[in-house]
Amino acid sequence: MKRVICLLIPMALLAAACGDDDGGTAAEPVACEAGETDGNLDLYNWSEYIDPDLIPAFEAEYGVSVTETFFESNEVMLAQIQAGGAAYDLIVPSDYMVSIMAEEGMLIPLTKAAIPNLANLDPKFTGLPFDPTGDYSAPYQWGTTGIGFAYEALGEDFEPSWAVIFDPDPSYVGQISMLNDAREALGAALKYLGYSVNTTSEAELQEAVDLLKSIKPAIAKFDSDQYEDDLVGGEVMIAHGWSGDFFFAFDDTDGWEDFGYFIPEEGAVAWVDNMAIPRTADAVCTAHTFIDFMLDAENGAALTNYNFYASPNAAAAEFVDPEILGDESIYPPDDVFERLEFIADTGAFELKFQDAFTDVKN
């Protein structure tokens, strides 16, 4: 059975879990200069994550074209990069996935001299544990994972708890969606149970599996792609998902009065998505130039003003819509931030998370 499951999982996760945990051979840095381009850019990103005006602006400024392809989970992206089909030049992995890919030698070290706008980063977003030297990645956006809801389901006065999902009211049973993402869905269950999202205890993980299985009849679907549209479209009443995706959908449909988002009181996941260059990239210098372009103060602000995720770019703050900057659901205050946990690379235990989630869904 283990062997079958191993075959369904990206090789980098297997490397640790199935015995080869030595990591891959490190990729060599490429000599690029600031503003240099060496071909068109193939960008592999999460969907609805970039202000569409920024792509033509980059193309016009640098005389290259950008092709965007989308992924909906870190593991899908990892598997695609390993399959080696398209040679993506720039990817946007989350924190723990940067660590996994760097460890496996899948990322080209950044030539920092080609990215002068790294200086714009908020120091809080440099030296992060998943890439302590910043050699492999540059932060793109950050946010939280919580619960989007229809006021029709929860009313105005409710307990902001994961119980909304794990002990659901019969009135909205069957109208709940959860992220189709092992670390996030199990992470939510672990938080509700009072455990770390980065547990490496098989017993705790099993409790999370049992909990998710017990509420499966209440779950309409596991989905990471259109849950926010399902919420504002009335297909579900409660959705587990990423902060900015909800706000984007509320804004898009004028739904601010009917829908809301909260970070559960038991604690939740915070994450940072990052720009990184896979070792299979063709246009490595263009990728560096694109990273620099995205770290420009006004371009960084345009991102946040478009996708409602928080910016790691300190210089961008003056150009971010003050309403967004002051919104505590987007920029959580310190007391909320203290309850958040970043997903970390659990090494050999990653495979157990993937197996456990397969078990939940089957």
Residues near ligand SPD (CB under 6 A) are 46-49, 94, 184, 242, 245, 271, 273, 343
Asked if residue 168 lies in contact with residue 212, where contact means CB atoms within 8 angstroms, the answer is no
In whole angstroms, how close is the CB of 139 to ligand SPD at the nearest point? 12
- Measured from the CB atom, the residue of 77 and 360 that comes closer to ligand SPD is 77
- Measured from the CB atom, the residue of 146 and 260 that comes closer to ligand SPD is 146
The token duo for 340 is 């958040």
Rounded CA separation 12/354 (Å): 13
- Measured from the CB atom, the residue of 30 and 275 that comes closer to ligand SPD is 275
Q: Name the burial class of residue 204, with classes exposed (0-12), middle (13-18) and buried (19+) by CB atoms within 10 angstroms of its CB.
A: middle
In whole angstroms, how close is the CB of 245 to ligand SPD at the nearest point? 5
- Measured from the CB atom, the residue of 49 and 357 that comes closer to ligand SPD is 49
In whole angstroms, how close is the CB of 15 to ligand SPD at the nearest point? 21
In whole angstroms, how close is the CB of 182 to ligand SPD at the nearest point? 10
In whole angstroms, how close is the CB of 346 to ligand SPD at the nearest point? 14
- Measured from the CB atom, the residue of 47 and 305 that comes closer to ligand SPD is 47
- Measured from the CB atom, the residue of 245 and 296 that comes closer to ligand SPD is 245
HSE-up (13 A, CA, CB side) for residue 210: 7
- Measured from the CB atom, the residue of 245 and 355 that comes closer to ligand SPD is 245
In whole angstroms, how close is the CB of 159 to ligand SPD at the nearest point? 25
3-state SS string for 56-122? HHHHHHHCCCEEEEEECCHHHHHHHHHHCCCCCCEECCEHHHHHHHHHCCCECCCCHHHCHHHHHEC
Of 251, 66, 237, the C-alpha closest to 154 is 237
In whole angstroms, how close is the CB of 34 to ligand SPD at the nearest point? 28
C-alpha dihedral (120, 125, 126, 132), degrees to nearest 10: -160
Residue whose tokens read 């009072």: 194
- Measured from the CB atom, the residue of 100 and 284 that comes closer to ligand SPD is 100
At residue 334's C-alpha, the angle toward residues 329 and 337, to 5°, is 60
Rounded CA separation 52/10 (Å): 30
What letter does residue 314 receive in the DSSP assignment?
G
| Number of residues that this document lists for the chain | 362
In whole angstroms, how close is the CB of 344 to ligand SPD at the nearest point? 11
End-to-end alpha-carbon separation of the chain, Å? 14
